[in-house]
Amino acid sequence: MKNSLYFLICISFLFFNCKTDRQTKTANESDNLIKNDTTSTEAEEHKTESVYEYTEDGIKVSAISHATMVLEYNDTSIYIDPVGGKEAFKGFNPPTFAIITDIHGDHLNVETLQQISTSTTIIIGPRAVAEQMPEELKNNFTVIFNGLSRNFKTSKIELNVEAIPMYNLPEDENSRHPKGRGNGYILTINGKRIYISGDTEDIPEMRQLKNIDMAFVCMNLPYTMTVDSAASAVLQFNPKEVFPYHYRGQGGLSDVDKFKNIINSQNSDIKVIQLDWYH
């Protein structure tokens, strides 16, 4: 009798332990599933999709790479600093206008211009760029100097191009971007004033800009300016919208989130638009 009672107690103990182990294991597995599902959900919530295009009042901006972009309006394509070969512009109409800011390789690539230009493409840039054009492109080249502007009109678009200084500070003979060699620009399309900084630092001419609707502002070291300087200048000339671009330097990519935070902490009316220029 005593042995039978002992046997029943042992069986009951083993059954209880096994059941508890199974419950614990099931609970742990459920916890892991919940944890993994939560992690996946959080990852999806924080996952941001890269944006390469932006459209405002019929003007479409497409970020190609670094300093290179395409502006489109009324079936007209304007290529800014086209580099990267013909493949970089797959899907875009050939340029009615190609606008060049400076002679450096991230802004001027003659081979790309030869591949994308048509017989009617108008190429616009400073004299230093014109001097590097092959003969077949010189006939369609228009030189524009700092402080001057030109009007261009086709059946689909009227474009005003004003050349704005772009240069390094302090100004000296060893400057990578001396004043007068390259151009920033203000393009007026459909009544919208679009500023393209080119390679510049926080210069007085930029701070004095007025009535800018869209601004493309560079920020990379050691070639142009810091994020803080760029944000300070933008707060001064107060565009409606600003696009950080040309933000890859020797140390990698500049902190464009910091740029946005500086601006919007002081002026929430300026819309900071972050496109992916390095996809």
Q: Are residues 59 and 35 in the same domain?
A: no
Domain count, the chain: 2
CA distances from 1 to 4, 8, 83 (A): 5, 11, 96
Q: Are residues 168 and 219 in the same domain?
A: yes
The pLDDT, as a whole number, for residue 49 is 61
Write phi, then psi, for 11 (nearest 5 degrees): -60, -45
The sign of the dihedral angle between the CA atoms of 163, 70, 82, 105 is positive
Q: What tens-digit pLDDT sequence spans the chain (279 residues)?
A: 444 444 444 444 444 444 444 444 444 433 433 333 333 333 333 334 689 999 999 999 999 999 999 999 999 999 999 999 999 999 999 999 999 999 999 999 999 999 999 999 999 999 999 999 999 999 999 999 999 999 999 999 999 999 999 999 877 777 889 999 999 999 999 999 999 999 999 999 999 999 999 999 999 988 899 999 999 999 999 999 999 999 999 989 999 999 999 999 999 999 999 999 998
Q: Using CB atoms within 10 Å of the CB of residue 202, give its burial: 0 to 12 exposed, 13 to 18 middle, 19+ buried.
A: buried
CA distances from 123 to 80, 139, 188 (A): 10, 9, 17
Residue that is last in its domain, among 47, 65, 82? 47
158: containing domain: 53-272
Q: Are residues 225 and 100 in the same domain?
A: yes
Global pTM reads 0.82
Q: Indicate the SS3 state at residue 3.
A: helix
The pLDDT, as a whole number, for residue 175 is 80
Q: Are residues 30 and 75 in the same domain?
A: no
